[in-house]
Chain A
Amino acid sequence: MTADTPPISVSGLVKSFGRTRALDGLDLTVRPGEVHGFLGPNGAGKSTAIRVLLGLLRADAGTVRLLGGDPWRDATRLHRRLAYVPGDVTLWPSLSGGEVIDLLGRMRGGLDPRRKSDLLDRFELDPRKKGRAYSKGNRQKVGLVAALASDAELLLLDEPTSGLDPLMEEVFQECVREERRAGRTVLLSSHILSEVEALCDRVTIIRNGVAVESGTLDELRHLTRTSIHAELAAPPDGLALPGAHDVRIDGTSVTFEVDTPQLDAALRVLTGIGVRSLVSRPPTLEELFLRHYKDELQEAGL
C-alpha cells in the first residue's frame, strides 16, 4: 500500500440478510488522512457496511479493500492497524471500564497509558465502575477512550456519540480533530448533521444501501441550490430567472432557490432591475440530506 492508496475502497458492495437487501451496490472511497462522514438515517446500511469492513460480515458481491488488504481474509492482520467504536457499546457486567479499555488496547497491539489517563480526564469517566453500573453514555465513553488511546492509523466510528451529552460531544469533536492532525484517517458514521458538518472533509450519503451522493461539502453544495432573498429597486414584472425554483414575489421582495451553477445568471437578472439588499445562504447539510430523503418523508406523511 502506497501513501495515497485509499484506506477504504468499496465498490458495488452487496449484502443481503434473507430477503432484505441491506447493501445494494454500495460505493465508498475514503482517502488517506481525511475525516469521512458516512451519513444516513437508521436502517440505511451504515452499520452493515462497517461490519463488512471489519470482516464480521461476509460480502455477497462487490470488491472491498481495507488498508490495502481483504477485510475478510486478512482480518486479524488488518485489525492491528485500526480501532472500532460500535454504536452501542456493550460491556461485560463484571469487568470495570478501565479493564475493558486496557484489554481492548492490548488485544489491538498496545495502548498509550498517558493518552488513556488524559482521555479519561477529558471525558470525565470513572474507570473503576463495573460494566453493569455504567449508563449508555458512559458505556459509549469506554468504547471511545479504548479506540482513541490506541495508535491505530484508521478509526471506524459507527455513530460513536449516541447517548453523549453536548459537552462530551464537544470533547469528542476536539479529539477527532487531533486525530486528523496526527495524520489518521477516520470514517465517521452518523445521523447527526451538525457533527458531520463540523468534522468531515468529505461526505458520503447512503440511502437504502446505495451511496446517493459523495464528495466534499462544497462539491455537494455545488450540486444543489442556494437560497436567495432580495429587496429590489422596483417591483419586478414577469421575472424570468434561469434555474430558479419556488419563486415568491411580494411587492419588491423576491425569495427563491436557484441551482448553484445558475447563480451567476440569476443574479445578473436581479442587478438588471436594481438590488437594495441581498441575502444569499448556501444550502445546509440538512437541506442536502433532506433533498435525498424527501420522497421517503412524503411517504411517511411528513
Chain B
Amino acid sequence: MNALTGTGGLIRLILRRDRVLLPAWVVWIAVIPLGFVGATDGLYPEAADRLQYALTTGTNPTFLALYGPMYDTDLGSIIAQRSGFIPVVVGLISALTVVRHTRTEEEAGRRELLGATVTGRGAGLAAALLVTFAANLVLAALLTAGMAAQGLPLAGSLAFGLQMAAGGCVFAAVAGVTAQLSEGAGAARGTALAALGGAFAVRMAADVGGAGNSLSWLGWLSPFGWINRIRAYGGERWWTLALVVVLVAVLVAAAGTLSARRDVGAGVLPPKLGRADAPARLSGPFGLAWRLQSHALYGWLAGFLALGIVYGAVAGGVQDMLKDNPDLARIFTQIGGESGITDAYFASVMSMLGLIAAAYAVSATLRLRTEEAAQRAEPLLATATGRLRWAVSHLLFPLLGSAAVLAVAGLAAGTAHGVDTGDPGREVPRVLGAALAQLPAVWLVAALAVALFGLLPGVSGGAWAAVAVCALITLFGAALGLDQWAMDVSPFTHVPKIGRDFTVAPLVWLAALAAVLAALGMAGFRRRDLATR
C-alpha cells in the first residue's frame, strides 16, 4: 500500500457528497461571462463603440483595480476585462472546497474512520485536489467551447477559459498547504483566504494605474497578476501559464511533504493549551456567542476597512476621466449634477459592499444551524438558557456586526475620498450614509436565513442561494440585460442611490419585511424540535 492507495474511492466519495454543489458552482461561474457576450455585443455593436468603451470605462481606475487592464479593443477583450474578478471567486470556492474535504473531515474524525480502511495517508489530500482541479478544468472547457461557439476566436477562448480556471487551481493548492499547518479547519480556511486577499491586493495595486504604469511590475508578484497577463483575446502570452503550472506543482509538492510528516488530526504547528477556568465574561450565551463569532467579525472588519480605503482612494480617478471626455461629462452632469459620475461610482461600489456584508450576515446567522447540527446547542438549551435568548445571542452579529462592517467601509471610503478632494466634511457623511443605506437590504437577506433556520432547518443553507442570486442580479444584471422585474428581485435594487433624492420609504419597507421574516423564523424555532438533520 502506498500513500495514494484508495484515492479513487475517496474521489467517488467527494463526487457523491458534492453532486449538487460542484456542478452548481461550475455552471454558475460559467454562465456569467458567457452571458456577457450577447449583452456586450448588443451595447457596443460597432468597432467605434468599443473603442469609446475602451477609452472610458476600460481605463476607469475602479475597473482597472477590480478587473485589471484591457489589452485590446475587441469584443473578447471587453469580456476578458469584465471577467477579471472571476478568478478570485473561483479561487475562493476552490480553496474552501479543498479545506472542506481535507481538514474539516479530519476535525470531524471521519478521516480517521477512512484511514483505518485501505487508504493511503496522502489519499485524502490527493482526492480533494484532483476533484477541485478537475472541476476547474471542466469550467475552462465549458468557457472555451461557449465563447468559441458565440463566434469569438478559438485561441483567445482557450486562453480565457484557462485564465478563469487558473485562479481556482492555484488557491486549491494553497489550501492544500494551509490544511496541513494547523489543527482547525477555521485556521486553514483563514490562512488560505488571507493569501488570496493578499494576492488580490497586490494585483489591484499593480493595475490601478492602467497597463504599463510604473507599478505594473508588482503584478508579477501575484498569481492574479500572472493570470490577467495571459492576455486572452489581446495577443495571448501563453508562457505566463507556465508560471501558474510551476506554482501549482510546487504547492502540491509542499502539501504532500507536509502531510506525510504529520499525524492524522495534528497540525505541523503544535496546538496551544487553553485556560483551565473560564474568564468571567464567558458565563452565558452572549459571552459564548462573542467568543465564537468575534474573531470572524474582526476579520471581516479588516477586510471592509481595506476595501473602503481602496474604493475611496480610486474614486477621484473617476472624476479625472471627465476631463478627457466632455461628452460623457455632459451626460453625467445632466443626470446627477457636478458630482454625478462619482456618485454613480459610489452607488455601484456600495451595492457591492452591501452584497459582501450580506454574505457575512448569512454566515453569522447560519452559525445557529451549525451549532444545532453539531449538537453543541443541546447541552446549552438543557441549562437555564431559553431558546430565544440563545438564538438572539448569535443574531446580534448579523444585526449589529453587518452595521459595523458597513460603517467601517463607509467611513474609510468617505475619508479616503475626502482627503483626495480636500473636503472630508462633505464626503464622509455622504459616503457613510450611502454605506449604511445598504443595511436594511443586508438584514432582509439575513432574515431569510433566520426564517429558513426556524421553519425549514434542513435547508437553511439555501440562504446562500439568495446571496448568489442577489450577487448575480446586482453585479451582472445590467450587463446581462435583465428586465426590471428580475432586477427588483434583489433587495439591493431598492436601496436609494447616493446623489439622487433620498427616500426613506424603501428602507422602511425592507427593514419591516426583514423584521417579519426574522420573527417568523424565531416563532418557528420556538415551536419545533431540535434537529441534527
Please give the residue numbers on chain A whose beta carbons come within 8 Å of chain B beta carbons, in ascending order: 51, 54-58, 75-77, 79-80, 82, 84, 86, 88-96, 98-104, 106-109, 127-130, 132-133, 143, 146, 156
Q: How far is the CB of B381 from chain A (nearest CB, A)?
A: 6
Cβ-defined partner of B386 (8 Å) among A75, A95, A133: A75
- Asked if residues B282 and A102 are in contact (CB atoms below 8 Å), the reply is yes
Q: How far is the CB of B318 from chain A (nearest CB, A)?
A: 43
Given contacts A57-B530, A98-B277, A103-B278, contact A84 B379 (CB under 8 A): yes
- Asked if residues A93 and B107 are in contact (CB atoms below 8 Å), the reply is yes
- Asked if residues B278 and A106 are in contact (CB atoms below 8 Å), the reply is yes
Cβ-defined partner of B275 (8 Å) among A58, A109, A128: A128
Q: Which of B27-35, B64-72, B285-293, B431-439 binds A?
A: B285-293
Given contacts A80-B384, A129-B273, contact A103 B282 (CB under 8 A): yes
Convert B106-127 into 0s and 1s, putting 1 for each residue whose CB lies closer than 8 angstroms to a CB of A: 0100000000000000000000
* Cα(A194)–Cα(B379), bound, Å: 27
- Asked if residues A107 and B292 are in contact (CB atoms below 8 Å), the reply is no
Nearest residue, chain A, Cβ from B283:
A106
Task: Identify whether the interface residues of B are mostly helix, strand, loop, or mixed.
Answer: loop
Nearest residue, chain B, Cβ from A96:
B274
Nearest residue, chain A, Cβ from B388:
A76
* Cα(A146)–Cα(B378), bound, Å: 14
Q: How far is the CB of A245 from chain B (nearest CB, A)?
A: 45
- Asked if residues A79 and B384 are in contact (CB atoms below 8 Å), the reply is yes
Residues of chain B contacted by A101 (CB below 8 angstroms): 278
Q: How far is the CB of B519 from chain A (nearest CB, A)?
A: 20
* Cα(A59)–Cα(B287), bound, Å: 32
- Asked if residues B276 and A107 are in contact (CB atoms below 8 Å), the reply is no
* Cα(A57)–Cα(B107), bound, Å: 28
Residues of chain A contacted by B183 (CB below 8 angstroms): 132-133
**CB within 8 Å of A: which B155-197 residues:** 183-184, 186
- Asked if residues B530 and A99 are in contact (CB atoms below 8 Å), the reply is no
* Cα(A266)–Cα(B448), bound, Å: 73
Q: How far is the CB of B147 from chain A (nearest CB, A)?
A: 44
Q: How far is the CB of A302 from chain B (nearest CB, A)?
A: 26
Residues of chain B contacted by A143 (CB below 8 angstroms): 379
The answer to the question of B2 belonging to the interface, with a C-beta cut-off of 8 Å to chain A, is no
* Cα(A82)–Cα(B529), bound, Å: 20
Q: How far is the CB of B274 from chain A (nearest CB, A)?
A: 3
* Cα(A118)–Cα(B527), bound, Å: 40
Nearest residue, chain B, Cβ from A87:
B375
Convert B277-321 into 0s and 1s, putting 1 for each residue whose CB lies closer than 8 angstroms to a CB of A: 111001111011001100000000000000000000000000000
* Cα(A95)–Cα(B282), bound, Å: 10
Q: How far is the CB of B176 from chain A (nearest CB, A)?
A: 20
* Cα(A94)–Cα(B529), bound, Å: 27
Nearest residue, chain B, Cβ from A57:
B529
* Cα(A55)–Cα(B387), bound, Å: 10
The answer to the question of B482 belonging to the interface, with a C-beta cut-off of 8 Å to chain A, is no
Residues of chain B contacted by A132 (CB below 8 angstroms): 107, 183-184, 271
- Asked if residues A129 and B107 are in contact (CB atoms below 8 Å), the reply is no
Residues of chain B contacted by A80 (CB below 8 angstroms): 384
Please give the residue numbers on chain B whose beta carbons come within 8 Å of chain A beta carbons, in ascending order: 107, 183-184, 186, 271-279, 282-285, 287-288, 291-292, 374-376, 378-386, 527-530
Cβ-defined partner of A99 (8 Å) among B277, B376, B382, B527: B277
Q: How far is the CB of A122 from chain B (nearest CB, A)?
A: 16
* Cα(A79)–Cα(B386), bound, Å: 10
21 A-B pairs (CB sep. < 8 Å): A51-B378, A55-B381, A56-B381, A56-B382, A79-B382, A86-B379, A92-B376, A96-B274, A96-B276, A98-B276, A98-B277, A102-B277, A103-B287, A104-B379, A107-B284, A107-B383, A128-B274, A132-B184, A143-B379, A146-B379, A156-B382
* Cα(A133)–Cα(B272), bound, Å: 10
Nearest residue, chain A, Cβ from B389:
A76
Cβ-defined partner of B276 (8 Å) among A58, A76, A108, A127: A127
Extra inter-chain contacts (18) besides given A58-B528, A90-B374, A94-B292, CB under 8 Å: A56-B378, A56-B381, A56-B529, A57-B529, A79-B385, A92-B376, A93-B107, A96-B275, A98-B277, A99-B279, A101-B278, A103-B278, A103-B287, A104-B380, A128-B275, A130-B272, A130-B274, A146-B379
- Asked if residues A56 and B278 are in contact (CB atoms below 8 Å), the reply is no
Q: How far is the CB of A221 from chain B (nearest CB, A)?
A: 34
Max chain A CB contacts within 10 Å: which of B278, B284, B530?
A: B278
Given contacts A56-B529, A98-B278, contact A76 B273 (CB under 8 A): no
* Cα(A100)–Cα(B274), bound, Å: 11
- Asked if residues B271 and A107 are in contact (CB atoms below 8 Å), the reply is no
Residues of chain A contacted by B383 (CB below 8 angstroms): 79, 104, 107-108
Cβ-defined partner of B530 (8 Å) among A51, A77, A94, A109: A51
Residues of chain B contacted by A56 (CB below 8 angstroms): 378, 381-382, 529-530
* Cα(A51)–Cα(B372), bound, Å: 14
* Cα(A82)–Cα(B383), bound, Å: 8
- Asked if residues B376 and A103 are in contact (CB atoms below 8 Å), the reply is no
Nearest residue, chain B, Cβ from A88:
B375
* Cα(A150)–Cα(B272), bound, Å: 28
* Cα(A113)–Cα(B72), bound, Å: 72
Residues of chain B contacted by A106 (CB below 8 angstroms): 278, 283-284
* Cα(A41)–Cα(B283), bound, Å: 37
Q: How far is the CB of A244 from chain B (nearest CB, A)?
A: 49
* Cα(A32)–Cα(B446), bound, Å: 47
- Asked if residues A99 and B184 are in contact (CB atoms below 8 Å), the reply is no
Cβ-defined partner of B375 (8 Å) among A82, A90, A130, A146: A90
Cβ-defined partner of A107 (8 Å) among B184, B376, B380, B528: B380
- Asked if residues B382 and A102 are in contact (CB atoms below 8 Å), the reply is no
* Cα(A55)–Cα(B530), bound, Å: 9
Q: How far is the CB of A75 from chain B (nearest CB, A)?
A: 7
The 6 closest A-B pairs by CB, nearest first: A96-B274, A102-B278, A107-B383, A106-B283, A84-B382, A99-B278
* Cα(A86)–Cα(B14), bound, Å: 31
* Cα(A161)–Cα(B79), bound, Å: 62
Nearest residue, chain A, Cβ from B185:
A93
* Cα(A223)–Cα(B468), bound, Å: 65
- Asked if residues A103 and B381 are in contact (CB atoms below 8 Å), the reply is no
Nearest residue, chain A, Cβ from B375:
A90
Nearest residue, chain A, Cβ from B273:
A128
